[in-house]
Amino acid sequence: MQIGYKSYHNNDATGETALLAEGRQTRSPVSLVDTPDFKGSPKRRIEQLQANTMKEVSDVKVQVRSDESRESLKDSMRNTNPNKLVTPMCGIQPTFTTQLLSGEDDALWRVNADEFNRRFRHIACAALVREKVNEAAGHLLLTMLEITRTNEIKVNEERSSPVSEADVLQKLRESDAQVEIESIKRVLEKLTADTSELISCVGENHRGANYCVNMRRIVDLIRIKEVEAVVRERFGGPACRIFRLLLLKRNLEQKQIAEMAMIPVKDTRELLYKLLKAEYVQIQEVARTSDHAPSRTFYLWRVDLLRVVEQVGHELYRTTSNLRARLIHELSQERETLMLLERAQDKIARGGESTVSLTSGQRVNLIRMRTIATRLESSLLRLDELVLIFNFM
């Protein structure tokens, strides 16, 4: 059961605002609210009719004190720190509870999802640099992002704000007093000279050289790495070689691709059209004449990375949905056995004793179900990471 909130403005003499909660049946147990954040703990009066059961919530009415005007809420929203993992909210986000707490000075909180996504993004960037360069480079880049995190306005910032060499050294010494200045300088120079453009030097001041982390470039490298793994898994190594070649050279004809990738022309043609059908590559017609005759037209193959990222993002959502449906189906097959085990666990938790006798067939099916459920849940965890990379970075 999910509760959605609608805001209605009351123009009577009392000047109060009523938020009407309507219970509606959905598939997801997560309730979403579109109410703004604000800082502080305003006084409010909360009145709610107790719900019948945990699954049926209806007619919840919350009234807010009239002394909290819209302007004061807007001012408090501006003062909210976007870098906190938990932020206050002026709406109510119930989960499975049947009764809401009431009081004059109760503060309502919700998770700051943007800040979590920002920190996950920083960790992913540092992991790629650690894999591409070395451990010290990954730790250094994560330190630079930690220094500049408070200056980020959006979650998907293209570049970090400039940070000086002295600030980085000071931050590193706070965690490790034995850090060497020369080693930090060598790592910074190595990252700056890298052809992948992981960080950039943007000038100098009295505190040394200033550096920016090219987060957009690093995220693109992470996505390219994952897409290449998908292409290799679905179409084989030669197809991955063609895909990587088109990323580097942009527009190429079929004959040029076959020569550069060292693949027979016939195999190249088949792989290109398989990739085209899956929307991993695109074809561009360049006509030499106005009649667009095939004999007088160049056909250039290329990779549109933004389009490929969007396509992979949709495939990840579809795969996640299929895996969840399969997991629900597998659990439903052994519903009776699972209910028996759950009742036995409840009796043991209450201090009693309970034994469950299962047939040999039920035991075999239960072991099979647990094995499949473990694999599906592990795959879902991996897909959650990929969904974050392709859709929220």
DSSP collapsed to 3 states, 156-171? CCCCCCCEEHHHHHHH
- Name the most confidently modeled range: 44-48, 80-84, 179-183, 378-382: 378-382
**Mean pLDDT of all residues in the chain?**
75
The DSSP string of 54-112 is: TTB---EEEEE-TTS-HHHHHHHHHT--TT-SEEEBSS----S-SS----SSPPPEEE-
Comparing 11 with 258, the larger pLDDT belongs to: 258
Does pLDDT of 205 surpass 90?
Answer: no
Confidence of residue 156 (pLDDT cuts 50, 70, 90): confident
292-339 tens-digit pLDDT: 777 778 889 999 999 999 999 999 999 999 999 999 998 888 787 777
How far, CA to CA in Å, does 208 sit from each of 146, 165, 214?
A: 19, 5, 19
pLDDT at position 82: 56
Q: Which residues are paired to 136 by β-bridges?
A: none
Rounded to whole angstroms, the Cα distance separating 192 from 103 reads 56
Q: What percent of the chain has pLDDT over 70?
A: 71
Comparing 122 with 76, the larger pLDDT belongs to: 122
Comparing 120 with 178, the larger pLDDT belongs to: 120
Does pLDDT of 223 surpass 70?
Answer: yes
Confidence of residue 222 (pLDDT cuts 50, 70, 90): very high
- Name the most confidently modeled range: 4-13, 192-201, 291-300: 192-201
pLDDT at position 295: 74
Mean per-residue pLDDT, 369-378? 90
Rounded to whole angstroms, the Cα distance separating 97 from 392 reads 30
Comparing 81 with 186, the larger pLDDT belongs to: 186
Nearest to 232 by CA among 267, 271, 200: 271
pLDDT at position 273: 94
pLDDT at position 217: 93
Comparing 101 with 267, the larger pLDDT belongs to: 267
pLDDT at position 66: 39
Q: Which residues are paired to 124 by β-bridges?
A: none
Q: Mention every residue, 6+ apart, whose C-beta is less than 8 A from residue 249.
A: 260
Mean per-residue pLDDT, 189-198? 88
Three-class SS of residue 264?
A: coil
pLDDT at position 237: 93
Nearest to 164 by CA among 215, 213, 211, 214: 211
Least confident of 6-15, 229-238, 251-260, 264-273: 6-15
Q: Are 242 and 272 in contact (CB under 8 A)?
A: yes
Token pair for 278: 């899956």
CA angle 161, 166, 170 (to 5 degrees): 100
Comparing 344 with 315, the larger pLDDT belongs to: 315
